[in-house]
Amino acid sequence: MAKNQVTTKSKQRNRNNVAYLFVLPFVVVFLIFSVYPVLRTLYLSFTSYKGFGDPVWLGLDNYKRVLTDKFFWRAFGNTLKIWGVNIVVQLGLAFLLTIVFSDIKYKMHGLPIFRAIYYLPNLIACTSVAFLFKTLLDWKYGSVNQMLISAGITSTQINWLGDVNIAPYVISIVGAWMWFGNSFIVLMAGVQGISTDYFEAAAIDGCGRWTRFFKITIPLLKPILLYTCITSLIGGLQLFDLPYLMNGPQGGTAGQPNGVLQTAVMYLYKFGFETRQTGYASAIAYTLFIIILIVSIIQFKWLGKED
């Protein structure tokens, strides 16, 4: 009996050891390439490190500087503005398509083809998208303006990327065009996971399309919506590539015109890689991380409170 117990324990221990060995490669890679950089960045955020030499400990000075740096907050505001419009358009478009494709009355055919087509912009490299739209939206030579003028919609060229009141929203729309296919697929998957019995029963009971949408689709899609909103927020607050490439004549971190296209991560990049203030850039990164964390928790609580 005692011998059997010992053997069983020994087997358990062996089994556990084998499991550790299996996860070890991932854990080691994760520790080296994810955990270490994160902790190192945290350490650097308390120093005046410039990318070389020995870091000098500054305590909370970098964080105080971030909190009082109005240009960081301007960049953060720009990010929210661009992301806010982007998410409304992106989710709106995705929802609209989801409604159309999931409606039991329409019974749309060819969903996989449309899904692939809508997803295509997501597959194009951001650099290509930026170059394409920068060319199309060129103030004096862009074909968008030429078409608008030819169609009599406007009599003068619109400075899409040079007007401070227009440029942020142009980035939002281009971003929405790029990413709505992804949201559509996620939402569609969520809708397809809802049993058609609910919709049929509701239809028999005389519920209209909108009632079905708001009373059945939306509540049952809540987890998916939460996921989409949080991932979009995290991605949105890290927005970098599109505005970086599309601002000013040659792109860059200045966020032309007049800094309205400078996002928080572009601001971080300016300090991390252009002015070589790695310590301060690390503090900006952690401030952003904390903000994203807080907003994500709020979103979780808010969207998940009725569950």
Partner 1 sequence: MKLKKVVSALLVSTMLLSCVACGNNNKNTDDANKDNNDTKTPSTEAGDDANTPDDSADVTGDGKLVIWTLAKDLETFAEKYMESHDVDVETVVIEPANYPTKVQTALNAGEKEPDIIVGEPQMLEDFFDAGYFEDLNQAPYNAQDYADQIVDYVWEVGQDADGIQRAISYQITPAGFYYRRDIAQDVFGTEDPEEIGKLFADYPTILDTAKKLKDKGYRIFASDGELNFFSGNTAWVVDNKLTVSEQRHAYMDLCVELYKQDLTAYAAQWSTPWYQAMSGPVPVLTADSDVNVWDATEFASATEGGATTEIFAYGLPAWGVLTMRDNVGETSGKWGVCAGPTYGFSGGTYIGVSANSERKDTAWDFVKFCTLNEETADWWIKKSEGDTVSLLSALEKHKDDGNEVYGGQKLYSFWLEQAEGLDYSVVTRYDTAIGNAWSNAITAIKTDEKSKEDAIAGFYDEVAATYPELTIERE
Q: Binding of partner 1 at residue 300 (CB under 8 A)?
A: no
The encoded tokens of residue 87 equal 């998410």
Q: Binding of partner 1 at residue 90 (CB under 8 A)?
A: no
Residues 122, 146, 231, 296: which binds partner 1 (CB under 8 A)? Answer: 146
Residues 275, 291, 293, 300: which binds partner 1 (CB under 8 A)? Answer: 275
- Residue 298 gets the label, from left (phi > 0), alpha (psi -120 to 50) or beta, of alpha
Stretch that binds partner 1, among 14-22, 36-44, 84-92, 93-101 (CB under 8 A): 14-22
What is the rounded distance in angstroms from the CA atom of residue 76 to the CA atom of residue 64? 16
Subset of residues 148 to 207 that bind partner 1, contact rule: CB under 8 A: 149-150, 155-157, 162-164
Q: Binding of partner 1 at residue 31 (CB under 8 A)?
A: no
Cβ neighbors of 120 (< 8 A, separation 6 or more) are 181
Residues 36, 223, 258, 302: which binds partner 1 (CB under 8 A)? Answer: 258
Residues 182, 253, 282, 287: which binds partner 1 (CB under 8 A)? Answer: 253
Residues 9, 10, 22, 56: which binds partner 1 (CB under 8 A)? Answer: 22
Subset of residues 126 to 145 that bind partner 1, contact rule: CB under 8 A: 135, 138-141, 143
Terminal-to-terminal C-alpha distance of the chain: 50
Length of the chain in residues, anyone?
307
Stretch that binds partner 1, among 24-32, 173-181, 193-201, 227-235 (CB under 8 A): 24-32
* Closer residue to partner 1 in complex, CB, 32/116: 32
Q: Binding of partner 1 at residue 77 (CB under 8 A)?
A: no
Q: Helix (H, G, I), strand (E, B), or coil: what is residue 159?
A: coil
Cis peptide before 25 (omega within 30 of 0): no
* Alpha carbon separation from 82 to 48, 89, 181, 257 (Å, rounded): 31, 11, 18, 14
* Closer residue to partner 1 in complex, CB, 118/271: 271
Q: Binding of partner 1 at residue 210 (CB under 8 A)?
A: no
Q: Helix (H, G, I), strand (E, B), or coil: what is residue 47?
A: strand
Q: Binding of partner 1 at residue 301 (CB under 8 A)?
A: no
Residue whose tokens read 């792109």 = 251
Consecutive H or E run containing 76: helix 70-102
CB 91 within 8 A of CB 279: no
Q: Binding of partner 1 at residue 27 (CB under 8 A)?
A: no
Cβ neighbors of 63 (< 8 A, separation 6 or more) are 45, 283, 286, 287
What is the rounded distance in angstroms from the CA atom of residue 305 to the CA atom of residue 271? 39
Cβ 212 to partner 1 shortest distance, Å: 47
Interacting residues with partner 1 (CB under 8 A)? 14-15, 18, 21-22, 24-25, 28-29, 50-53, 65, 69-72, 135, 138-141, 143, 146, 149-150, 155-157, 162-164, 249-250, 252-254, 256-259, 270-271, 273-276
